Every structure is written in structure tokens, then in C-alpha cells.
Amino acid sequence: MFRDSSPENRAKNLKILFLALSFYFVFAVSNVSYLLPLYYADIGYDAKTAGWLVSVFYLASVTSRLFLANAVTSFGFRNIFLVAGVLSVVSSVGIAVSGLAFWPALLFRVTLGVCAALFQIGLATYQAVAFKENERGNAFSLIMAGGLAPMMTAVPLADWLLHHGFSKLYILLPLALSVGAACITPAIPGLKETKLASINGQKSVNPLLGVAACWRLPFFRLALFSMLLFTMIDATCAFMSPMTNSFGLMASYFLSFNAIVGVCIRLFFGKLLDRFPRWLLSTPILLLMSALLFLATISPTEKRLIILGLCFGVGMGFGFPLNLALVSDAVTYELQPYAVAVSWFVMGLNFALIPMLMGWLSNLTGPVVAFRCISGFIFIGSVFLGFLWFRRWKARKNGDFLLSE
């Protein structure tokens, strides 16, 4: 895509660049929060309270996502990004100064979660309507390279700060990243010209009716199940630090090398997602990633975590843009905002529930066994998804495999 210097492709490339930077800052705010349990433990919170402060961010994001399709349609992309930017900066300041004041910290974490949802639904909807179906695989891969880059930059920095006693500097990272998101997202090319209500030729509808229209499409249901399993893997991986700490190791050995490979895959091999049926790739990727997470719990060493992280990065590199594209492929143009909203709702639900589930299981069995239980469950679910894909393909009608009911 970047080799074509025509005006049309230069415009596409500029959109990809700004979207990649936007996802970098938005995801980085969330990613550095994965280490919040270590920060809160350092300043005096117990594990249960810290778990709530981490999870409430994702709970707030989840509860607002289903209704944000209409917000984007009604107010426009740029206005949504301006509001989210200002509120995220204010919330990050509030979290940094709250210290051991639980209720203010909780309130600001909730507000930051809503801001993250505004950013994510707005960005994901815009990229879904900005690129054609035969461009989505490569475009989404390049854009999501920016979304994965925080794992090899911001997260290792945050991990280093916490492990070297610089907790006060660590808690300022979300503020710096929120400022970046607030500056970049409103500057994405084409935001003012893209008005979903006028393009669709209709007013906003009840978001639940939009979701119901998506749900009636069998391919969408399978794409959503694939997204559910992938984000369970992502959330489990993100909160692996208690498991690695049980062996005296840092999670960044796994996470950073996963991110390096993932970014390389998205930058240089994203076109593969446009050359093969995307639904056919989803199950093998999920099986690979869940198996690698399970293996990470078996006598890990620094070298072993690095090797497993490198292999895991192949799945992460292809998996997220693949599942985003699958969801967009499954619905018609007018349903894109609602398909995006419900898929990101599923993402947020996993990131809200997995840390609580991990904490509950860890209290019963220890963090290592808890990690094995969750990764094993995902592996079984991935096998079942493969069966459903095959059954759907075998029973397909003569019409469109994707959109036929």
C-alpha cells in the first residue's frame, strides 16, 4: 500500500499513519494499567482492592460501549475525540494524585474507562468505514501495529520503573499518554467529512436494534465468538504478571518479545489477511496462542518466556486485525457502527472479568494453576469454534457465505 504514490493512496497512507498513532496512545494508557496491581501494592493497597481499581476501568468501558455507536453517528468523530481527550487527561491527573484515597481513584478510573471506550469505538468505526473490504486486512494490520507497539515501549518502561522503585514516575505515564491521545486523534485526516448519519441516509436507530440486526447474521455470530476467544487470550496474557512473579520472573520477558514479533507481522505480512479467507485462519491462531499461554506456566525461565513470547507474537500479530476485519466483513455498511460497538463490548467484558476471575481462582489454587485453567478453557473453546466454522461452511447456502441468514 505504501509503495503507490498516487494521491488516493497517499491519502490512505496518511489515514493509516494517524490511526496507528492514535491507537498507540489509546492502547498505551490501558496497557500500562496492567501493572497497576504492582503500583497499588507498593503504596499500600491489598490485592482485592487493587483488583477492583484495575477492573472498574474495563467495567466502565464495557457498560458504555453498546450505546456509543449512536454517539459517533450523532456528534461526529472529531467531537467525540475532543471530548474523550479532555476527560482522559483530567482523569489521569486525578488517578495520579489520588494515592490511597480509594473513592476518588475509583471515580477517575471509571471516567478514564468511558473515555477509552469513546476513543476505541470512534477509531474502530472510522477505520471500518474508511477502507474497502479488500483493503481491510492490510490496513488494519498496519494500524494495529500502532496498537501493539506499547507492549514493546510503554509497558517495559512501566515495568522497569516499578521494579526499580520509581512508582511516582510510573503513575505519571498514563497522563503523558493521555495527552498524546488528546492531541493526535482530532487531527486524523477526513474526520470532518465523514458523517455516518448522512452517509447512511438515515437517522440514528436504537443501538439495541442495530445490535439485533447484526446478531441475525450467522457469520457475525461466529466472528463475535472468535473475537470473544481472542480477547480472552489477550486479557489473560496481559494479566500474567502474578503468574510470572510466582517464579521470580518479569512478565515483560514474554510481553515485550511478543510485541516485537507482533509489530513486525503487522507491518510486513498484513497483506496475507487479504489473500486467504479470514474465517479459515481464526481457529489455528487461537489454538496456537492458548497453547503457548499454557506452556508458559510449565517451568518457565527467562529464555523460555522469550521464546514463547516470540511465537505468541505471530498469533498476536495476525489475530487482532484478523478479528476486527472478520467483524466488519460480516455486516453491511449501515450496520458497521453497531457491529464495532458490540465487538468492542465483548473485548471490554473480557478485560473486566478476566482479572477478577484470575484473582478469584488465584485465591483458591494459586496464580499458576489459575493461569493454566483459563488458558486451557480457551483452547477447548477454540476447538469448538473450529467445529462451528466447519459446520457453517459445510451447510452454506448458494448465496453469500458471509451475509446470508
Dump pLDDT digits (tens) for 375-389.
999 999 999 999 999
Residue 34 has pLDDT above 90, yes or no: no
Q: Domains in the chain, ordered, with CATH?
A: 7-394 (1.20.1250.20)
How would residue 205 be classed by pLDDT, with cut points 50, 70 and 90?
low
Average pLDDT, the chain: 87
What's residue 200's pLDDT? 47
Residue 81 binned pLDDT confidence (cut-offs 50, 70, 90):
very high
Quote the pTM value: 0.79
What are the backbone angles phi and psi of residue 403, rounded to the nearest 5°? -105, -10
Q: Is it the case that residue 234 has pLDDT exceeding 70?
A: yes
Q: What is the arithmetic mean of pLDDT over 220-249?
A: 91
pLDDT at 402 over 60: no
- Residue 5: pLDDT band (50, 70, 90) is low
Angle in degrees, CA 306, 309, 311, rounded to 5: 115
Closest CA to 341 of 206, 169, 242: 206
The whole-number average pLDDT for the span 71-95 is 91
pLDDT at 196: 65
Percent of the chain with pLDDT strictly greater than 90:
41
Is the model's pLDDT at 296 over the cut of 90? yes
Task: Give the model's pLDDT for residue 373.
Answer: 94
User: Which pLDDT does position 400 carry in this prediction?
Assistant: 53
Please tell me the distance from the alpha carbon of residue 191 to that of residue 193, in angstroms, as a whole number. Answer: 6
What type of residue is 249? L
Is the Cβ–Cβ distance between 182 and 118 less than 8 Å? no
Q: In sequence order, what are the residues at sequence separation of 6 or more whose Cβ sits closer than 8 angstroms to the Cβ of residue 343? A: 124, 223, 224, 227, 323, 324, 327
Q: How many CB atoms lie within 10 A of CB 280?
A: 12
Distance CA 81, CA 120 (A): 10
Cα–Cα distance measured from residue 3 to residue 400, given in angstroms and rounded to the nearest whole number: 33
Query: What mean pLDDT comes out for the span 339-351?
Result: 87
